[in-house]
């Protein structure tokens, strides 16, 4: 492939679907059953090779959250968001964690088998 990644990960990684930069380790996934306004998403403890957007308040199904959108730093694609502050104390575990939208990333080991990863509009997390 010949691509030079800013940070590469030692292990199975999720990569940006658009430029294949490594974004997160599969081992760092906390939850695979997250839903967002584009369908399935992953809650992840740490991500790399991203840039953060500006902070904003966002009302989600689980309450008001302060979030920052995250973008692939190589191609600039929106890939998910970071929970900065969560108002509901039952949701505090999300603070400082990241969400990657499933259809915007590819999982290394299953690359080419993600044909079901298309956007759906059910169960919106955003207004
Ligand atoms: Zn990218």
Q: What is the pLDDT of residues 75-107, one digit of tens each?
A: 999 999 999 999 989 999 999 999 999 999 998
Strands 50-60 and 105-107: unpaired
Give the residue extent of every domain in the chain.
13-110
Q: How far does the centroid of ligand 1 lie from the alpha carbon of residue 17, in Å? A: 7
User: What is the rounded distance in angstroms from the CA atom of residue 115 to the CA atom of residue 88?
Assistant: 35
Q: How far does the centroid of ligand 1 lie from the alpha carbon of residue 64, in Å? A: 29
Quote the percentage of the chain above a pLDDT of 90: 60
Cβ-proximal residues to 82 (8 Å cutoff; 6+ apart), any chain? 52, 67, 68, 69, 70, 96, 97, 98, 99
Residue 31 is predicted with a pLDDT of: 92
Residue 111 is predicted with a pLDDT of: 44
State the fold for domain 13-110.
2.170.150
Q: How far does the centroid of ligand 1 lie from the alpha carbon of residue 82, in Å? A: 17
Query: ∠ CA 6-37-70 to the nearest 5 degrees?
Result: 20
Tokens 């575990």 sit on residue = 93
Ligand 1 (ion): residues with CB under 5 Å are 16, 18-19, 21, 72, 74-75
**Band of residue 61 on the pLDDT scale cut at 50, 70, 90:** confident
């Amino acid at each position: 492939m010949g691509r030079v990644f800013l940070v590469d990960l030692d292990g199975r990684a999720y990569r940006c679907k658009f430029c294949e930069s490594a974004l997160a380790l599969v081992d760092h996934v906390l939850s695979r059953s997250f839903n967002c306004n584009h369908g399935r998403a992953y809650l992840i403890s740490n991500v790399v090779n991203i840039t953060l957007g500006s902070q904003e308040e966002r009302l989600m199904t689980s309450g008001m959250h302060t979030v920052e959108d995250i973008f692939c730093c190589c191609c600039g694609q929106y890939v998910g968001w970071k929970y900065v502050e969560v108002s509901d104390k039952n949701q505090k575990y999300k603070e400082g964690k990241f969400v990657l939208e499933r259809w915007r990333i590819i999982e290394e080991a299953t690359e080419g088998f993600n044909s079901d990863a298309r956007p759906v509009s059910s169960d919106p997390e955003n207004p």
